[in-house]
Structure 1
């Protein structure tokens, strides 16, 4: 029974082969047995897939420039292209990532290119029409985001589009950490040709969104929707609590108000800690010209033949 639970909450695509603490929090909220943390730790640390693909990666130079956390959901979102990555069987070579800076909720999509039209279509169809208009959208100064096409569509939709003052990959650690998580998770599922990574992208994004984040100390899904996600292998609920719409609204409003305040404080505290660690031994980079380069981040999908 325990081995089946560990496999479900760590190995399955909707669990994402995440680390010890994320796996422990997810199981702890649903099950209990004596010595469970040590058992989970032993299982995760002995996972051959994780050992094979979640290798240490060299960090880029440059000091971290944290972004002030917003006060509400959708107050500030970041939009980034990741890639190019190995081309999938479907012809995709890039990943578009939109992240909410308070909840850390991530929206992803595999794309064949990194054009302004692709970015604008994603912003409208995958972000605005499903979640609403972000008050502020932060991007780098890549040509796809600085084009008249993207600017015009963002403006027409009422999006306050802002950019980093220089094209600086380390303007915040949010994208870098998410990219590392995404790469590690995708690497544990892809085939040897790395041609099916886009099939697993929705699953590992869901795994990330339903896992407690060390920075916020809460699941992005819960902050976004005000409830915990029901996972495919969760135990059936023994009781069903019914409440009126007014009662539910009052409880939800109270929870989100308290949660947003706590999460914002947690983010600021963790940003300071992470910046001190990140900046050790680094020097500031000279400013780069706007539009330099085509992507803000990259993902290495390691080969299954690594020894």
Structure 2
């Protein structure tokens, strides 16, 4: 029992689920006949695992992939937050993810304004990686405005918006946000 506690939640632990915990304990040199069942039961009783577990609330449906032609061709933009205030006073994260390489660019923001978004796209995407072909955003005010339209027109790329009905359909940006929030926990 002490081996399970140590491998799951103490100094060696990473709060891994039952089968992974089993392999970890086995690699530590322990074995008993009901080891797999005991590991699964132990994890089910862990309050932190139950609180931070990834629960899927949507039924499965067919995927509709966005297939970019080359690296830095298509980007997804998303705002994460509000988060707990940092020492610099930042409470939002503006993240952009490339659909081909899964490369992420992100900055911390005190407030989300259209000027911040346009400057981020220009400085962190266009000037670093070249002009993109299209960008996918939700329908928020920082993304759908005259300044953004002017930037799209100036550099000759298109902006696609995720549907109003399901704004979380912004492709890879949403899984990155989930990963980022889990890391911040």
TM superposition score normalised by structure 2: 0.66
Aligned length, in residue pairs: 150
> Secondary structure of the residue that 2:169 maps to in structure 1?
coil
Structure 1 segments of 4+ aligned residues over 3 angstroms from their partners: 38-43, 51-54, 57-67
Cα-to-partner distance string for 1:207-230 (whole Å, 9 max, x where unaligned): xxxxxxxxxxxxxxxxxxxxxxxx
* Inter-CA distance 173–126: structure 2 relative to 1 (3 Å threshold): closer
Residue segments in structure 1 that go unaligned for 5+ positions in a row: 1-16, 21-37, 46-50, 188-307
User: In 1, distance between residues paired with 2:134 and 2:25?
Assistant: 40
Counterpart of 2:87 in structure 1 is 89
* 2:168 maps to 1:150: no
Counterpart of 2:107 in structure 1 is 109
* Inter-CA distance 135–173: structure 2 relative to 1 (3 Å threshold): closer
Counterpart of 1:171 in structure 2 is 169
Instruction: Please state how far the C-alpha of 1:109 moved relative to its aligned partner.
Output: 0.7
User: In 2, distance between residues paired with 1:75 and 1:96?
Assistant: 19
- Structure with the higher fraction of residues in strand conformation: 2
Q: Give me the CA root mean square deviation.
A: 3.5
Higher gyration radius (CA)? 2
* Inter-CA distance 87–41: structure 2 relative to 1 (3 Å threshold): farther
User: In 2, distance between residues paired with 1:41 and 1:137?
Assistant: 47
Deviates more, 1:164-173 or 1:110-119: 164-173
Instruction: Please state how far the C-alpha of 1:159 moved relative to its aligned partner.
Output: 2.3
Counterpart of 1:125 in structure 2 is 123
Instruction: Please state how far the C-alpha of 1:87 moved relative to its aligned partner.
Output: 1.5
Map residues 7-26 of structure 1 onto 2, 5 A cutoff: none
Counterpart of 2:42 in structure 1 is none
Map residues 51-70 of structure 1 onto 2, 5 A cutoff: 52=48, 55-59=52-56, 66-70=64-68
Tell me if structure 2 keeps the 8 A contact 1:140–1:168: no
* Inter-CA distance 147–57: structure 2 relative to 1 (3 Å threshold): same
Which structure's relative contact order is higher, taking Cα pairs within 8 Å and 6+ residues apart?
1
> Secondary structure of the residue that 1:151 maps to in structure 2?
helix
User: In 1, distance between residues paired with 2:26 and 2:113?
Assistant: 43
User: In 1, distance between residues paired with 2:178 and 2:126?
Assistant: 26
Map residues 260-275 of structure 1 onto 2, 5 A cutoff: none
Counterpart of 2:35 in structure 1 is none
TM superposition score normalised by structure 1: 0.42
User: In 1, distance between residues paired with 2:146 and 2:82?
Assistant: 23
User: In 2, distance between residues paired with 1:124 and 1:154?
Assistant: 10
Instruction: Please state how far the C-alpha of 1:73 moved relative to its aligned partner.
Output: 0.9
Deviates more, 1:68-77 or 1:104-113: 68-77
Residue segments in structure 2 that go unaligned for 5+ positions in a row: 1-13, 18-22, 29-38, 40-46
Instruction: Please state how far the C-alpha of 1:61 moved relative to its aligned partner.
Output: 5.0
User: In 1, distance between residues paired with 2:152 and 2:170?
Assistant: 23
Counterpart of 1:230 in structure 2 is none
Instruction: Please state how far the C-alpha of 1:62 moved relative to its aligned partner.
Output: 7.7
Counterpart of 1:185 in structure 2 is 183
Out of 58, 75, 78, the residue aligned to residue 76 of structure 2 is 78
